Amino acid sequence: MDQLTAQSAKIAPIAQAVIDGRQVDREEALYLLQVPPEKRYELFYWANHIRQHYFGPKISLCAIVSARTAGCPEDCRFCAQSAHYSTNIIPHFCELDELLAAARAAQELQAHSFGIVTSGRRLSDADFERLSPVFSTIAQEGKIECCASLGFLSAQQAQYLYALGVRRYNHNLETSRNYFPQIVSTHTYDDRIATIRAAQKAGLHVCCGGIIGMGESPADRVDLALALRDLDVDSVPINFLHPIPGTPMEKYPILAPMTALQTIAMFRFVLPEKQIKIAGGREKCLRDLQSWMFFAGANATMIGNYLTTKGRSAADDFQMLADLELEPNKSKAP
């Protein structure tokens, strides 16, 4: 048996086992990241098959708005909003009517969820109170799933958000436990896990993923996927590093498109029943291959702009879905 035939003989059985309900182990996940270029198309075929098996033609769309921008005391080395770096991002706190207008604009774009995001380690009680009418109004209108990403949460704050009608909380791990100290020093991996657990205990769905292309190894990417599986999060945003001038990662190379797609496929094999959402950096990283993110197994994407960088037009994204004969998922469930 030649090497290519051997590769084919291994990818398909792993995929079928996933469809039959068996979990991919660490060795298999590493293997999926290391199949040679000539076998990537087969890997994508099976990742797409797994996506279709669990989700059909439905693609979930998510929109976000930055309610508080810049001035963050944390030192995440990728982040344009950190006060540790000179990135020319102007601090800003949105007015409540701006946030409601952004939520209604997201509804018009057929987004199934809308996230309000704030920079900083955590919100003060006063800022929680200030934002609470926005969360409750969006929830009461009932036209879009109300999400939040407000930094670290206490158990009481998580319960308060749920009482307001928030149903999903975003808090990314960013990378593996092993590589995390290379990315941030002002808080720990366990700090992030504590917030995820608090959100889950309060009944919130959890949106949790990371950033690929920050110098981590393939093993780190696999360990992130496995950690997310162990945490049983509901939605997994995969971001690709968009190097921002002024940050310590400003000169990092942009990940090659096919490597990015292979990473998406690995996540689909490891997390077959979870929402895998391609988010920040997709335009820079995937370029002309953006539509391939679904072929590689993704079943969700961000629509519109990101926090400090621009996305592409919603019209282009809807045309992409139409050309692929895929449909926006209008359900508010994860």
Three-state SS for 205?
strand
CATH of the domain at 148: 3.20.20.70
The pairing of strands 205-207 and 113-118 is unpaired
Could you tell me if residue 97 is inside a domain?
Answer: yes
The segments of the chain whose pLDDT lies below 70 read: 1-9, 304-311, 331-334
| DSSP track, 25-58 | -HHHHHHHHHS-GGGHHHHHHHHHHHHHHHHTTE
Torsion of CA 246, 251, 252, 254, to 10 degrees: 100
State residue 332's pLDDT score.
52
Which amino acid is residue 234, in one-letter code? D
Q: Which domain holds residue 135?
A: 25-325
pTM tops 0.85: yes
Cβ-proximal residues to 76 (8 Å cutoff; 6+ apart), any chain: 82, 174, 183, 184
* Dihedrals phi, psi of 330, to nearest 5 degrees: -90, 0
Three-state SS for 93?
strand
Report the alpha-carbon distance of residue 3 to residue 7 in Å, rounded. 6
State residue 333's pLDDT score.
43
Could you tell me if residue 57 is inside a domain?
Answer: yes
- Find how far residue 218's CA is from the centre of its chain: 18
Looking at the DSSP bridge assignments, the partners of residue 211 are 239
Report the alpha-carbon distance of residue 197 to residue 195 in Å, rounded. 5
Could you tell me if residue 17 is inside a domain?
Answer: no
State the first-to-last Cα distance of the chain, in angstroms, to the nearest integer.
43
Which amino acid is residue 155, in one-letter code? A
DSSP 70: S
Report the alpha-carbon distance of residue 106 to residue 112 in Å, rounded. 8
Could you tell me if residue 172 is inside a domain?
Answer: yes
Could you tell me if residue 19 is inside a domain?
Answer: no
Could you tell me if residue 80 is inside a domain?
Answer: yes
Report the alpha-carbon distance of residue 297 to residue 15 in Å, rounded. 12
In total, how many domains does the chain have? Answer: 1
- Find how far residue 19's CA is from the centre of its chain: 23
Could you tell me if residue 178 is inside a domain?
Answer: yes
Which of 193, 198, 199, 186 shows the shortest CA–CA distance to 120? 186
Could you tell me if residue 14 is inside a domain?
Answer: no
